[in-house]
Amino acid sequence: MNAVKVKKVLYAFVYLVGPLSYLTISIIWGAFFTTKSTFENISDNLGVMAIYYVFISLLWFFYLDRLDKDINKITKEINDNKM
C-alpha cells in the first residue's frame, strides 16, 4: 500500500463515509425514535454536518504536513514488514 492510496482512503473516510453514515443513521433515528418532523430532523443534521466539515477542513489544512509524515512512516513500516 503506497502513501497516495493511504491518503485517498483516509480522505474518503473523513469526508464521505463518516459524514454520510452519520447522516443516514441520524435521519433513521430521528424518523423512528424522536418526535421531530422529518424536515426539522434533516435540517438539524445537515447543520451538524456543516460544522463537522468546517472543523475537519481546518484540521486537514493545518495538520497536512504532519499527516504526510505519519502516512509516509506508516507505509514505510508496512513495506518493510512485507520484505
pLDDT, one tens digit per residue, over 21-50 is: 999 999 999 989 988 898 999 999 999 999
Is-above-0.75 flag for pTM? no
3-state class (DSSP) for residue 2: coil
pLDDT at 70 (0 to 100): 85
Reported as a single tens digit per residue, the pLDDT across 61-70 is 888 778 888 8
In whole angstroms, give the CA distance from residue 79 to residue 52.
Answer: 33
pLDDT bracket for residue 1 (50, 70, 90) = low
Model confidence at 82: pLDDT above 80: no
